[in-house]
Amino acid sequence: MLHQHAQTLLANLSAERQSEEATDHPIIWVAHSLGGLLVKRALNLSDDLESKYADDLRNIAVSTYGIIFLGTPHTGADPAKWGIMVEKMVSALMPQRVVHTESQLVKTLQTNNETLQNINLKFLEIYDKYRIDMVHENIPTSVGTTKTLIVDQIQASPPLKGVIYYGIEATHSGMCKFDNKNSPGYSNVAGHIKGWVETAPPVIHARQEEERQKRIHDLEKARNDLQWGFVSFLDAS
């Protein structure tokens, strides 16, 4: 299910960038909660694409400069706790099919889930291409009769070289909602985004040019191989 959502995300974002004539623009992701797993899966898929017919989709990974993960359960979490929270948040508001989809995504949160493990292993191969913030919540959420951190610091902040870590004095739901400049976490999140916006263009343009040169080289090699094969066939005849 996460795979299909990631494919849809890539297709929709690629189409939007083409329609806005913005395919050369850098991308900065701000992903909250399960959305962080979706972004990781989408970037994994994009990076894996090799076909010349998939250049627009591959360009998503090439153009990504930075990612801010807000309360993303990278290492898994308690599915039972998530099930209660998801049901509380969406059952009264969303169609039943959406609730069913969410429950399938929640199953991915089991620490020994093969899908989650594969996402993380693949993302480890590419994460150092990007600027990354991993952010955790510091205020527990009311779940039933208790209060708990939906995604604790360990789950939200696996140790990786070059990653920036910090907490936000808010609940899991509230950590991505900033009412004003004085809201908890705003200065960190907004400050990093502003800095990335300034430094991203030359980095991404160089990466895109490298991709174009690689594609030209691959096409020339394929053409030469085809010509050599044709000559060899004539000689054999």
Residue 212 lies in a domain: no
57-83 pLDDT, tens digit each: 999 999 999 999 999 999 987 776 676
| pLDDT given for residue 93 in this prediction | 41
Q: What are phi and psi for residue 93, nearest 5 degrees? A: -115, -30
State the total domains in the chain: 1
Domain that holds residue 8: 2-199
Residue 69 lies in a domain: yes
- Residue 99 — very low, low, confident or very high, per pLDDT cuts 50/70/90? very low
Structure token pair of residue 77 = 């979490």
H or E element at residue 68: strand 64-70
CATH number at residue 26: 3.40.50
- What's the distance, CA 43 to chain centroid? 6
Structure token pair of residue 91 = 């059952």
Mean pLDDT value across residues 175-191: 95
Residue 230 lies in a domain: no
2-48 pLDDT, tens digit each: 888 899 999 999 999 999 999 999 999 999 998 999 999 999 999 99
Residue 236 lies in a domain: no
Q: What's this model's pTM, rounded to 2 decimal places? A: 0.85
